[in-house]
Amino acid sequence: MKSTTKWEVPEFGAVGVLSAVGVLIVSGLLSGIFRSVVQSGPATALTVGSDIEASSQWAEPILGIVLLVVMGVCWWQVTGWSDAEDADRADVEVHLARGWTISCWAAIELIVVAMGAIAYLIGSIISTSGQPLSDIAWSTDTSAAGNLVAVLAIVTVALLIGWSFGLSPRLSDSYGE
């Protein structure tokens, strides 16, 4: 049976952001695949590292922050609907389930962003590994490592908040039973 519960603006916004992040992830992956397939000549550390970097350059802290905000909006929605006293129980359960589902997808995308940041650091290290130690190599690798640490900090905060909030759909617990 199809739900007739209307979507709210925060739910639409969250799904829009999750969709956009999904497009960035898929297009980055495809970019790396296309670069490696159409490459002329033998693969070297520089080309492999550059391909990995190009395919994961989307994995930045700002994207993690956006996903953290999506999770925060969903948790705010769930809290609001959990406290709703004059709403239809079926509507409340639908909104609680949506909020939980969107939060879980945001958490999954945050983990993928962390994996992308790891790949970016690996690509940076590989592409500079065959070069003599220089300020540019250290600068590139240090920047990629800082990017990874920042992303991991955001992911850690988001998952800790998620666990303390309870990333489980306790619908009956949330609504007056």
Residue with tokens 């739910």: 11
Mean pLDDT, the chain, whole residue set: 84
pLDDT at 166: 63
Instruction: Provide mean pLDDT across the span 27-36.
Output: 88
Instruction: Tell me, yes or no, whether 155 lies in a domain.
Output: yes
- Higher-pLDDT residue of 171 and 108 is 108
pLDDT at 174: 45
pLDDT at 134: 62
Tell which phi-psi region holds residue 72, choosing left (phi > 0), alpha (psi between -120 and 50) or beta. alpha
pLDDT band at 3 (very low <50, low <70, confident <90, very high): low
Domain count, the chain: 1
Instruction: Tell me, yes or no, whether 1 lies in a domain.
Output: no
pLDDT band at 150 (very low <50, low <70, confident <90, very high): very high
What's the pLDDT tens digit per position in 74-112?
A: 888 888 887 777 778 888 888 888 888 998 899 999 999
Q: Which domain holds residue 139?
A: 10-174
Instruction: Tell me, yes or no, whether 4 lies in a domain.
Output: no
Instruction: Tell me, yes or no, whether 146 lies in a domain.
Output: yes
pLDDT at 50: 87
Instruction: Tell me, yes or no, whether 99 lies in a domain.
Output: yes
Instruction: Tell me, yes or no, whether 5 lies in a domain.
Output: no
Contact 107, 77 (CB under 8 A): no
Contact 138, 176 (CB under 8 A): no
pLDDT at 48 exceeding the cut of 90: no
pTM score, whole prediction: 0.83
Q: Is 110 exposed, middle or buried (0-12, 13-18, 19+ CB in 10 A)?
A: buried
